Chains A and B, each alone.
Chain A
Amino acid sequence: MELINDLLLFLPAAVVAAGGLTVMMLDGYKAKSRTIYSTTMIFLGIALVISTYDLLVQTPQLIFSDMAGAGGTAAFGTFIVVFGTFFTVILTHDYLIGVKHNFPQVYPLLMFCTFGMIVLATANDLVTIFIGLETMSVCLYALAGIIRDKRLGVESALKYFVMGAFSTGFFIYGITLLYGATGSTSLPEIGAYTDGGLIYWGGVSMLLVAFMFKVSAVPFHMWTPDVYTGSPTTITAYMSTAAKTASFVALVLVLDRAMPFITAELTSVFSVIALMTMILGNAVALVQDNVKRMLAYSSIAHVGYLFVGLAAGSIAGYSAVLFYLLAYTFMNVGAFGVVAYYEKNHDVHFNNVESYAGLGYQRPIMGILLSIFLFSLAGIPISAGFNAKYLVFSAGVESGLISLVIVGVLASAASAYYYLRVMVYLYFREAKESVTLMQPKKVYSYSLVFLALLTLYFGVVPAGVTEMIYGYFSDSALTAVSP
């Protein structure tokens, strides 16, 4: 009975997994791509409804013999992941048809990947985190190279795989050492351990290194630009939002539950990481001509801002990180969605910023949408991006990291340059050759409009969702109590 009860609390993941198996079978029986797509959407729609419901009503509790959690941050992470996947699938379907590489295998892979992400975001045990991380990563390796006859795609898949496998090694080693030191893999039990020691610190650092690989923080970011550029654009959107959210939620969980008493020590480490990530991400993004590559480096820069929230090490900081992930999902899926739209009208190499000249006036809706998403990424009010940055930086100021925050805002001012540059080409330059853009599909443009509305909505009234996120940490029964 308990198992069924637990499964009910874990329903979004179960639905997604069942969906993945179903669409894989459909593919095996040579169903039409259209059928596979609609089946995927039905399952994801159900999962989205359930996860929204969970988000609003579930209370934080532990399930599966304390291996995973439900409600609170878990429900929040699940929601973002399913939400991101839902829109990714809509965009991917259209995009793959547009670039004439419509492989139906992409749908089961996306579903299994999402399952891994949900496990990752709900974990309460290092072993669960590991299972989630690997399920997600293995699917992502395959997704990165889904366009098999493209050199860049294969290259990016291979690079991702080698680097990912390397970081997995670190992760396993970290778990081993932590188990050796604390005698447990459960997050709260590790959190209750306060004796320190070389083995313990070795485990902590290995674990954090592995996480930094996954979220692409400097100096562990090397794989990101190539993988993001080489993968199909909508898959890149998926990697940079859903995958990053899942990893970050897991990281916040680990920090909040397994390492509550060493936040002071971690603050200095995270400050250095944040500093390097913000500076390098933004500086390299400044000189990119390829929009996709620019967005890849910009996503590294955003990891830097997120680390400011982690460095703050406070409830305000962690909840700011979660809000940031939500906002980032809206705006980044949106931005990549428009980039994918421009791309699928031509070929997969239509990414140079110069080829965007004058496109803003053709299909004005798409131009306006891209502008909204880019302004939000740059952190200009009134957008979700501004509020996210504001919360992260104000958490930093509250924790006394003022010089770090000043570097952060300056880096963010520099970032405005490369986001604006895209708009310079969209609107201020005359089109060189006649580029015709097809009418986007209704569902495609409506999805993007919806994301833009959410971006603006959370730019004006973030009160409700910030209150909800705050509640996860202040009432969390799961946080280890002080010894």
Chain B
Amino acid sequence: METLLNITIYLPLLGVLAILLAKSDEAIKWIALAFTSLTFAVSLPLIFNFDVAGSDVAQYVTESGPLVFGLDIKYIVGLDGLSLLLFMLTTFFGPIVVLSSWTSVKKHVAGFFAMLLLLQTGSLGVFASLDLVVFYVFFELTLIPMYFLIGIWGGAGRIAATIKFFLYTLVGSLIMLVALVYVGYNAGAVLNDGVFLTDWRVLSGMDYQLGLVEQTWLFLAFALAFFIKVPLFPFHTWLPYAHTEAPTAGSVVLAAIMLKMGTYGLIRFCLPMFPNAMLEFAPAIAFLSVIGIVYGALVAMVQKDVKKLVAYSSVSHLGFVVLGLFALNTIGVQGAIIQMINHGLSTGALFLIVGMIYDRRHTRQIEDFGGITGIMPIFAVFFMIATFASIGLPGLNGFVGEFLILMGAFTSESIGNIWFAIVATTGVILAAIYMLWMFKRVMFGPVIKEENKLLKDLNAREIGLLIPVMIFIVWIGIRPTHFTQYSEHQVEVLLEEAAQKRAAILEASNPSELPSWANRLYDITPNYAELSGEDTNE
């Protein structure tokens, strides 16, 4: 099984080589489809054989020797409850994305599919890696193909959009790199005889406890990188540009997979490594995410471009995910994890659908449409399901995630104020307004434009690629436990361990040695102060 995991990760890379050798554009498309489908097929045993009861321990682990002399950086990959579903989502979207670009990509076909496959290897590596440095390498590696996907095959403003995307993400991740190196040396000094260490399984454990001051700075450095990637308000400004200018396939991968790397990083690294900082910053971050939810929704409402509307709705939806993560209770975090998958499916579907109509009309302006339902009935059905899923209609997937997150936020001790949850709830209402209003203007009413009368309905390829997405949208909506079960145990264990670690670190810290801001931030109780005072008296 270990081999199978590695095969899944590197099969797309092999596909890149095959594409470079291929002669015709037609052959290239088939090769890309074959390799992504094969990757998905090969990844299936990973989920079927997954030990749900032991999801807190990484499974299918491959571990190499040290890669750099003198530093304990190892190639470690494996899957656990946190990463399994996102990993599967990535392999699942592979063939769908290839099919969606079948006819719309006309220039430099080989380059396009090579970049898509490279992106897939990078994304799979991000979710599978269990060493911080290896994670970082894959995290950065996904930037290059996306840079070219937007820059070469994007819309009119693609160059500015792609450079903004690249630099924004790079700044965040480089600061994370410094923090990561610091963690590596610090952990090495404590646990590994002074040898640099970045094995996640060790760092997340009880043995590795960071002091409160260090934790604060390191948390901020890690969180900044992930917040930019999510993106959390006010770091979201790159997203609408990148989404709007990207080709359909780029938007889908960006929305479904790359944005999740941010939220995934928060739960994977920040929670177990910096539990105290995570707790104390929770209200502030909940505040930002609630602003993101409402702001994203309000801005989405006034968009004239359908794709931009969906992009801003992403800002709103990912605000929910961050809110759920920082609720720091099982129900909220579970909701956040399933909502990552839901957002991938429903927003991915919306981008696919917008791409289909764009291919036909070469416009995305809402005012250019109207009355499409009568002309493209099959399209209307898919569009409707995706819209409802995005709104969070009960019975479809979006409802499950948002409901759990809001439940978590209401009962959360870390956020400590139910007003966050109450305001966040308005985001659901606003979502209904902007999505349904857009749907009405595009799909209903009289057909104003003559060109629209000639539109052809979806062909077999397009129906075929949407149906699997729709199946999962309904499946998660009806039987969410089939999916939440994979992460449930691990989330419980993680939160429990984080609470223990938090208490242990507080116990160990001496208020008189800490700067006053740290004392205030971590609210070190007089109790501990007295205890340490007695110690010195003795």
Contact = CB atoms under 8 A, between A and B. Distances in A.
B178 interface: yes
Contacts of B148: 427
Contact of A381 (B71, B140, B151): B140
B408 interface: no
Given A397-B181, A398-B185, A402-B178, A424 B108 contact: no
A393 to B, nearest CB: 7
Contact of A428 (B144, B159, B167): B159
Task: Identify whether the interface residues of B are mostly helix, strand, loop, or mixed.
Answer: helix
Interface in B176-193: 177-178, 181-182, 184-185
Given A382-B141, A427-B148, A397 B182 contact: yes
A461 interface: yes
A463 B178 contact: no
A406 interface: yes
Contacts of A462: 67-69
B67 A409 contact: no
A402 B196 CA distance: 16
A463 B68 contact: yes
Contact of A410 (B147, B174, B182): B174
Contacts of A361: 108
B171 A413 contact: yes
B317 interface: no
Contacts of B67: 461-463
B144 A380 contact: yes
Contacts, number: 91
Contact of B177 (A387, A409, A461): A409
A90 B148 CA distance: 32
A428 B152 contact: yes
Nearest to A380: B140
A362 to B, nearest CB: 13
A311 interface: no
B170 A413 contact: yes
B141 A381 contact: yes
Interface string A385-420: 011001101100110001001100110111011001
A287 B66 CA distance: 41
Contacts of B143: 380
Interface string B62-80: 0001111111000000000
B158 interface: yes
Nearest to A425: B159
A382 B139 CA distance: 11
A415 to B, nearest CB: 10
A297 interface: no
Contacts of A87: none
Contact of A405 (B65, B151, B162, B178): B178
A470 B69 contact: yes
B506 interface: no
B163 interface: yes
Contacts of A184: none
Contact of B196 (A394, A412, A414, A461): A394
A410 B70 contact: no
Interface string A368-392: 0000000100001110001100110
A409 B68 contact: no
Contacts of B68: 387, 391, 462-463, 466
Nearest to A427: B152
B137 interface: yes
A420 B178 contact: no
B181 A394 contact: yes
How many B residues touch the partner, as a band?
A: 35 or more
Contacts of B144: 375, 380
A429 B158 CA distance: 11
A433 interface: no
A412 B174 contact: yes
B141 A466 contact: no
A347 B170 CA distance: 36
Given A397-B182, A416-B167, A428 B158 contact: yes
B151 A427 contact: yes
A381 B171 CA distance: 15
A7 to B, nearest CB: 33
Contacts of B69: 462-464, 466-467, 470
Contact of A393 (B66, B108, B159, B177): B177
A316 interface: yes
Contacts of B299: none
B331 to A, nearest CB: 37
B200 interface: no
A313 to B, nearest CB: 16
A312 to B, nearest CB: 12
Given A380-B140, A463-B68, A467-B70, A424 B159 contact: yes
Contacts of B136: 381
B524 interface: no
B175 interface: yes
A461 to B, nearest CB: 7
A390 B181 CA distance: 9
Contacts of B196: 394
* Residue from B143, B162, B177 whose CB has the most chain A CB atoms within 10 Å: B177
B177 A466 contact: no
Nearest to B160: A424
A482 B81 CA distance: 54
B248 to A, nearest CB: 18
Contacts of A397: 178, 181-182, 185
Interface string A448-472: 0000000000000111101100100
B161 to A, nearest CB: 11
B168 to A, nearest CB: 9
B388 to A, nearest CB: 38
A423 B182 CA distance: 33
Interface in B92-122: 108
Nearest to B171: A413
28 contacts: A380-B140, A380-B143, A381-B136, A381-B137, A386-B137, A387-B68, A393-B181, A394-B71, A394-B181, A394-B185, A397-B185, A406-B178, A410-B171, A410-B174, A413-B167, A416-B170, A420-B163, A427-B152, A428-B151, A428-B159, A428-B162, A461-B67, A462-B69, A463-B66, A463-B67, A463-B69, A466-B70, A467-B69
Given A402-B178, A409-B174, 18 more contacts: A316-B70, A380-B144, A386-B137, A386-B140, A390-B177, A391-B68, A394-B71, A394-B185, A397-B178, A397-B182, A405-B181, A410-B174, A413-B171, A416-B170, A420-B163, A462-B68, A463-B65, A466-B70
Interface of B: 65-71, 108, 133, 136-137, 140-141, 143-144, 147-148, 151-152, 158-159, 162-163, 166-167, 170-171, 174-175, 177-178, 181-182, 184-185, 196
